[in-house]
Amino acid sequence: MRACNQVIIDRMQSSVALIPQLAAHLVAAGGKRLRPLLTLASARLCGYDAGDQNLRHVEIAACVEFIHTATLLHDDVVDESQLRRGLASANAIFGNKASVLVGDFLFARAFQILTADGSLGVMAILSAASATLAEGEVMQMTTQNDLSTSVDQYLQVIYGKTAALFAAACEVGAVIGEVPADKREALRLYGANLGMAFQLVDDALDYAADQALLGKEVGDDFREGKVTLPVLAAYEAGSEEDRVFWRRVIEETEQQPEDLDRALRLIKETDAIATTLRKAEDYAQKARASLSVFEESALKTLLTETASYSASRES
Amino acid sequence: MRACNQVIIDRMQSSVALIPQLAAHLVAAGGKRLRPLLTLASARLCGYDAGDQNLRHVEIAACVEFIHTATLLHDDVVDESQLRRGLASANAIFGNKASVLVGDFLFARAFQILTADGSLGVMAILSAASATLAEGEVMQMTTQNDLSTSVDQYLQVIYGKTAALFAAACEVGAVIGEVPADKREALRLYGANLGMAFQLVDDALDYAADQALLGKEVGDDFREGKVTLPVLAAYEAGSEEDRVFWRRVIEETEQQPEDLDRALRLIKETDAIATTLRKAEDYAQKARASLSVFEESALKTLLTETASYSASRES
Transcribe B61-104 into DSSP letters.
Answer: HHHHHHHHHHHHHHHHHHH--SEETTEE-HHHHH-HHHHHHHHH
* B231-237 contacts, C-beta under 8 A, 24 or more apart: B231/B147, B231/B263, B231/B267, B231/B272, B232/B147, B232/B149, B232/B151, B232/B154, B233/B267, B233/B270, B233/B271, B233/B272, B233/B275, B233/B276, B234/B263, B234/B266, B234/B267, B234/B270, B234/B272, B235/B147, B236/B270, B237/B270, B237/B271, B237/B272
Instruction: Give the mean pLDDT of B189-214.
Output: 88
Tell me the pLDDT tens digit for each residue of A161-203. 999 999 999 999 999 999 999 999 999 999 999 999 999 999 9
Q: What is the pLDDT of residue B12?
A: 86
* Mean per-residue pLDDT, A220-248: 95
> Residue B16: which of A245, A197, A180, A131 has the closest Cα?
A131
Question: Which band of pLDDT confidence, cut at 50, 70 and 90, is reported for residue A78?
Answer: very low
Q: What percentage of residues in chain A have a pLDDT greater than 70?
A: 90
Task: State mean pLDDT over B239-259.
Answer: 94
pLDDT for residue B155 is more than 90 = yes
Q: What is the pLDDT of residue A23?
A: 76
The pLDDT of residue B289 is 98
What is the pLDDT, as a whole number, of residue B5? Answer: 84
A78 with B101: Cβ contact below 8 A: yes
Residues of B in contact with A135 (CB under 8 A): 14-16, 19, 105
Q: Is B277 exposed, middle or buried (0-12, 13-18, 19+ CB in 10 A)?
A: buried
Q: What rounded mean pLDDT belongs to chain A?
A: 89
Rank B80-84, B85-89, B95-99 by mean pLDDT and report only the highest: B95-99
Q: Do residue B78 and residue A71 have CB atoms under 8 angstroms apart?
A: no
Average pLDDT for B136-141: 93
* Residue A65: band (very low, low, confident or very high) from pLDDT cuts 50, 70, 90: very high
Is ipTM strictly over 0.90? yes
- Least CB-CB distance to B97: which of A101, A107, A141? A141
pLDDT score, position A91: 61
For A192-221, what is the mean pLDDT?
84
Establish if A96 touches chain B: CB-CB under 8 angstroms: yes
**Which of B105, B115, B135 is nearest residue A105 as measured by Cβ atoms?**
B135
Annotated domain spans of chain A? 2-310
CATH of B2-310 among 3.10.180.10, 3.40.50.620, 3.40.190.10, 1.10.600.10: 1.10.600.10
Tell me, yes or no, if A13 comes closer than 8 A to chain B by beta carbon.
no
Residues A98 and B141 sit within 8 Å (Cβ to Cβ): yes
Of A74, A112, A124, the CB nearest to B100: A74
Give the pLDDT of residue B94.
Answer: 65
Give me the count of residues in chain A.
315
The predicted model gives A111-134 an average pLDDT of 97
Q: What is the pLDDT of residue A55?
A: 83
pLDDT of residue B86: 44
Q: Between A175 and B85, where is the model more confident?
A: A175
CB A105 within 8 A of CB B134: yes
